[in-house]
Structure 1
Amino acid sequence: MYSFTRDLRVPVVGAPMAGGTSTPALTSAVSDAGGFGFHGGAYLSPDALRADVRAIRELTDQPFGVNLFVPEQVDVDEEEFAAYRERLAPLAERAGVVLPESVPFTDDAFDAKVDVLIAERVPVVSFTFGLPDRSTVGRLHDAGIAVSSTVTSVDEARIAVDHGVDSLCAQGFAAGGHRATFRIHDADPQVETLDLVRAVAPLGLPVVGAGGVSTSRDVEAILGAGAVAAQIGTLLLRTPEAGTRQAHKDALVDPRFTRTVTTRAYSGRLARGLENNFIRSNDGHAPLAYPQVNTLTGGIRKQSSTDADVINLWAGSGFREARAVSVAEVISGLIPQAPDRFDQ
């Protein structure tokens, strides 16, 4: 079975960033630069995921991985959903969007996408928002595919180890994008990256530390805490290979945006992004329902794609360090100077 944590030339992993930011060009560029590229498979149809996997293979002969969101169906408070819809109605009207009266649960074609990844023999599959059933992990292993789990706490890491995964991504509180808590209703453990890496490394699996990575010193610190690599996402947002919206790229260097916060306002799940008017107006009002809230706000975000005060601006705490340079340049600047094993 392939082990991306053993074969890394550079101790840097490219985060999967679903919703269009992950592109075949971005994923392949990370792997070509000596790191390991993960592709965001959430929101893609099975056919689109298959096409992306094949496009990545056309661009690189290096291994890569794909991440999927694990579905969780919870009861939705219909009154809270209706109240949130009403709250968003004026903004939707300005954007020319008709909000749905209700949104059914969908599992994002999870099983079909697992089938695609097995058929395509993707080297590594990682999971966010919990774990699939043990039979799914077994099917991936039977196909020679390594399995990784994103965790935000020691308890989640222990569950993942018991589930038979091959590696852990320890997502610290500073990381951008969706928090990987196993359950929608879970409070965020708010554990910082180095503390989380130190806490889960003794469990015996290879660990990738994610969150707050801006410089080679940050990579060195994560390695020193017991990880085999550091994961970056925000640092890649302004690269030409990423599919980041231009308004999002611009906001990362706009002095109007001064900090990141976690919010459920866009999707019903906790996520970290630049604080903008949408978050200030709606934080604390969204029902805890994913993907229903994500779908509810989706039309507004699509029609307001050039307005940084409306769209989600996922980013980690080190967002000011994101530069408009190639992926190769980003990764070369993160190579630790001390460890000889990462000399290229």
Structure 2
Amino acid sequence: MWNQNSVTRILGTHYPIIQAGMAGGVTTSSLVSAVSNSGGLGTLGAGYMSAADMKLAIKEIKDQTNLPFGVNLFIPETPVVNDEQITNAQKLLEPYVKELHLTDNVSFSEVQIDFENQLEVILNEKVPVCSFTFGAPSKELVSELKKVGIIVIGTATTVEEAMINEEKGVDIVVAQGSESGGHRGTFLGLFEQSMIGTFSLVPQVVDAVCIPVIAAGGVMDERGVIAALALGAKGVQMGTAFLTCKESGAGASHKRAVLESSETHTVITTAFSGKPARGIENRFTREMQEYKNQLPSYPIQNALTKELRKQAGRQGVPELMSLWSGQSPRLSREVSAKELLESIVSRVGKTLGELNE
């Protein structure tokens, strides 16, 4: 059976399908539990969450499923703070602040996510799976997680990043192609040099490491799953496909933008966070493009635009929202997570059968 392999054995899932840990509120407890209850691995995107909020979300997930699920964390980054750059960025954002009638000007306070407290929650709650983005976890951290039975997943956008993850001791590595929506997990070298498509990246990573490889980037349906398996991956990770599901916490404007877009509508932008990310092009990304070299790096720009993004979402102004999406929005569907998984699973079996005729 295609769905019984090293990944399903390691994760304890019925299918080697992982819902990506999309941070920022998309991965509600309902979405995570629905994916896990349907045989995949639901993942809470906890990158921006406080330890307290993360603990509450984990409790809600446990109340809704007794099957394995994961939590995704961001490896901390220490930016160089440039006061003049921050001031200039605030001035660039002023017109948008006024447009949304925000009472206060955009302010910046360097609030770092407490990674240590997040990890403490992961360990105390004995979360079944913990995945990492924007870097590889240390050997010591991996060992600490494994001691209490937690499966560790790393993220790589190049072969070298995958090899580093394996050297650190992770159980599984996600090979994340350039088709992916939102922020990719690049942590070595220039982002531009890591823009490798899924079809090219996956087989090269498979040949370079001994641990199971998960394919990510542009996978939306059974065809992506079958292609990933043919390339040597043992499973897939899907983000955009789950973003438009009914249980997703993405706003109505965001979902509609993805559902109504095509493959030519996504762009790579640093305007919202200071880190390159793929999303649906809108007025904000177009107007900020000429200033891309003047913006503060992540997570500073992310903090500067936080209230702007939040209010744009609340007011339903998609032209000022971060509309993260992969390169296959035409394949998005407005269904439940269960319906999506059941459809993919049934069609994988049917298509494989047809290929073998």
- State the one-letter code of the partner of 1:52: A
- The number of residues matched between the two structures is 337
What corresponds to 2:93 in structure 1? 88
- Alignment pair present for 1:250 and 2:256: yes
| Match 1:260 to one of 248, 266, 272 | 266
Matches for 1:87-106 after TM superposition, within 5 Å: 87-97=92-102, 98-104=104-110, 106=111
- State the one-letter code of the partner of 1:189: S
SS of equivalent to 1:44: coil
Write the deviation string for residues 262-292 of structure 1: whole angstroms up to 9, x where unpaired.
Answer: 1111001111100111111113245352211
What corresponds to 2:3 in structure 1? none
Percent of residue pairs identical? 37
Matches for 1:36-75 after TM superposition, within 5 Å: 36-75=41-80
Is the Cα–Cα contact under 8 Å of residues 268 and 286 in structure 1 kept in the other structure? no
Is the Cα–Cα contact under 8 Å of residues 89 and 296 in structure 2 kept in the other structure? no
What corresponds to 1:314 in structure 2? 324
Query: What is the distance in 2 between the residues matched to 1:226 and 1:8?
Result: 19
Cα distance change, pair 139–252 in 1 and its aligned pair in 2 (3 A): same
- State the one-letter code of the partner of 2:109: V
- Alignment pair present for 1:326 and 2:332: no
What corresponds to 1:10 in structure 2? 15
What corresponds to 2:244 in structure 1? 238
What corresponds to 1:278 in structure 2? 284
What corresponds to 1:269 in structure 2? 275
What corresponds to 1:296 in structure 2? 304
User: Under a length normalisation based on structure 1, what TM-score does the superposition of the two structures give?
Assistant: 0.92
Which 5+ residue runs of structure 1 have no aligned equivalent? none
Further displaced range: 222-231 or 330-339: 330-339
Write the deviation string for residues 226-254 of structure 1: whole angstroms up to 9, x where unpaired.
Answer: 11111111111221111110110111233
Which 5+ residue runs of structure 2 have no aligned equivalent? 1-5
- Alignment pair present for 1:218 and 2:203: no
Structure with more helix by fraction: 2
User: Under a length normalisation based on structure 2, what TM-score does the superposition of the two structures give?
Assistant: 0.89
Is the Cα–Cα contact under 8 Å of residues 89 and 99 in structure 1 kept in the other structure? yes
Matches for 1:200-211 after TM superposition, within 5 Å: 200-202=205-207, 203-211=209-217
What corresponds to 1:153 in structure 2? 158
Write the deviation string for residues 174-229 of structure 1: whole angstroms up to 9, x where unpaired.
Answer: 01111111159644511111221101112111111011112211110001111111
Query: What is the distance in 2 between the residues matched to 1:315 and 1:280?
Result: 16
